[in-house]
Chain A
Amino acid sequence: MFNSSPIESWDGAGVFYSFAQTGMTDFWFWIAVLLCIVPLFVTLKTENHHENIHKFRSDDTDSTHGVQR
């Protein structure tokens, strides 16, 4: 479907990755960046959900970090 080849022959070929030397590499680069960032928000959302459910310790609604009671 996509004609992504940057070469017409293997003789003397150098860069041969798909879409080389076209603007499409920028497109795939920024897609990759996005695919790193978006999952962080998804993860954060899941974390926040469970943080809200389990906000306090069962025996203490005003616990102090790190200090055993």
Chain B
Amino acid sequence: MTPAELEAALTWANTINLEVYYYWCTAIMILIHAGFMMYEMGASRVKHTLAAGTKNVLAFAYMIPTFWMFGWWIYLAMYNGFTPDWEAGAGGVPWGESMGPNLQDNASGVFYGAFTLFACTTASIMSGAVIERIRMTAFIILAVILGSVAWILSAAWGWHYAGWMVVEWGYHDFGASGVVHIISGFFALGVLIHLGPRIGKFNADGSANVIRGHSLPMTMVGLMLIVTGFFGFLGGCLFYGGGGPAGIGQWTNIYGMPTTLSTICFNTLMGVAGGMIGAYTKTRDPFWMMSGALCGVISVAAGMDLYYPGLTFTLAFVGGVLGPMAAQLIEKMGIDDAVGAVSVHGFCGMLGLLFAGIFLGGYPQFADNVPTITFGGQFKGMIVMILLGFVPGFVFAWLFKVMGILRASDGVQEVGMDVEIEAMAYPEDIKTIN
């Protein structure tokens, strides 16, 4: 074999490895969606169970074609802000050569798939917050706006080696604390403000009642599936070594900075554990213990490609303690977030970005002209993410409210949202305290 042939064989092996890696990351990420579906169904009362599951599945189904139609193009073209780079976006147009079977392109399909599953995750995050009263059609459209527009625009800005927030502020968000979790959490908040609480959540004096779901065990298993899916999600945040400044065979983060898969393994596990223990210590509540795993990982996600595992555990513990406290605060504000999505994802996503700003100073960037990680850059990035999530959620939910298609009537809520999908989760009519 000549040196040229050897080099060609290595390059080809690298291409195939990349394809295999992201293909299976995508498959594992589907577990996140399965987990969210179980989580939400368990958190719903019996009469709302299938409606909660159905809307979650439909969000998944709608995200796939819409992300193919325009989501992937937004990522490739909109990294400068609101002005598209038509040339860069050409690879993402759905009638182009890259957006379908092509023997010369092993990458576009698997990257589209992985990014689509990130989009599905954002929709699932919003989905839990609004259970038991949102109408299906409005929810699906909101999910598409969140997953195939808002999240991917934020990714183009802050999760792209040429994104304007990256090159101007040194914004660092390895595991998507901001671009996925803040966006989704604050989008959900914008929707919740117009959607209103479930019937019976708040008393006339403003005090809140606890509305328990019909199956906490189902919710706990669902959350464990989400934790499993994190390995696909956070593994998918790595770039398989395809060359560039880091060299062939070197894993990099999405910004081109070298890292290892082992790094992510250390810190994903530490994040999960820290969050669970922190939340359980604070609440002694099985629901929050499992949600604490999410609080923990999200609180460390932005910097988990660089943290020392002991620091990761500590920060995740703090996230696990503060997440439930943020949920209480949101409830006191009169917002009925059925699963704590705003606090778990929105608030802990903020922690994730700020922690990276506090603890990750001094790391060299992938290019000399990119600013290093600073608290100021992370803070400004956090504000952008909050606005990019909240504003579209608030505006479109208001629009649907005006149109009268946002919230199910009180009568439907009383009978159960399952009536609108003409199905029944438990035909034998199991009895619960609800």
Known: A57-B411, A57-B414. A46 touches B65 (CB 8 A): no
List A residues at the B interface (Cβ < 8 Å).
13-17, 20, 25-26, 29, 32-33, 36, 40, 43-44, 46-47, 50-51, 53-58, 60, 63, 65-68
Chain B interface, >50% SS class: loop
- Using known A-B contacts A65-B197, A66-B197, A66-B336, determine if residue A54 contacts B409 with beta carbons closer than 8 Å: yes
Q: A50-B420, A51-B408, A54-B415 are in contact. Are A13 and B137 (CB under 8 A)?
A: no
Contact of A51 among B62, B141, B412 (CB under 8 A): B412
Contact partners of B286 in chain A: CB under 8 A: none
Among the 9-residue stretches B92-100, B119-127, B255-263, B365-373, the one with 4 or more Cβ atoms under 8 Å from chain A is: B92-100
Which B residues are CB-close (under 8 A) to A26?
95
Q: A32-B65, A67-B202 are in contact. Are A44 and B137 (CB under 8 A)?
A: yes
Shortest Cβ distance from B334 into A: residue = A66
- B411/A16 in contact, CB under 8 A: no
How near does chain B come to A34, taking the closest CB pair, in angstroms? 11
- Are the CB atoms of A46 and B422 closer together than 8 Å? yes
Residue of B nearest to A10 (CB): B103
Whether the Cβ atoms of A68 and B203 lie closer than 8 Å is yes
A-B contact pairs, 17 of them (CB 8 A): A14-B103, A15-B102, A16-B102, A29-B69, A32-B69, A47-B135, A47-B137, A47-B405, A50-B420, A51-B412, A53-B411, A54-B411, A63-B199, A66-B198, A66-B200, A67-B203, A68-B204
What is the size category of the interface that chain B forms with chain A? 35 or more
Chain B residue nearest in CB terms to A45: B137
Contact of B420 among A13, A46, A56, A58 (CB under 8 A): A46
**In the complex, A44→B403 CA distance in Å?**
12
Nearest chain B CB to A33's CB is how many angstroms away? 7
**Given A16-B101, A67-B202: A36 touches B65 (CB 8 Å cut-off):** yes
**B95, B141, B411: the one within 8 Å of A55 (CB):** B411
Residues in B neighbouring A36, C-beta threshold 8 A: 62, 65-66, 69
Complexed CA–CA distance, A9 and B141 (Å): 43
Asked whether, in the complex, the Cβ of B100 is within 8 Å of the Cβ of A17, the reply is yes
Q: Which residues of B contact A50 (CB under 8 A)?
A: 412, 419-420, 422
CB of B163 to closest CB in A, whole Å: 28
Report which residue of A13, A14, A51, A63 has the largest number of chain B beta carbons within 10 angstroms of its beta carbon: A51
Q: How far is the CA of A56 from the CA of B104 in the complex (A)?
A: 59
Q: Kindly list chain B residues whose C-beta atoms are within 8 Å of the C-beta of A65.
A: 196-197, 199, 407, 410
> Beyond the given A14-B104, A17-B101, could you list 8 further A-B residue pairs with CB under 8 A, ordered by the A residue number?
A14-B105, A29-B94, A36-B62, A43-B140, A47-B405, A66-B196, A68-B200, A68-B203
Q: List the B side residues contacting A44 at CB < 8 Å.
A: 137, 405
Q: Which 10 A-B pairs have the closest CB atoms?
A: A54-B411, A66-B197, A17-B100, A14-B104, A17-B101, A44-B137, A68-B200, A63-B410, A54-B412, A25-B95
Contacting B97 at CB < 8 Å: which of A20, A29, A54? A20
Given A40-B141, A66-B336, A54 contacting B95 (CB threshold 8 A): no
Give Cα A15–Cα B421 distance, bound, in whole angstroms: 41
Which B residue's beta carbon lies closest to that of A14?
B104
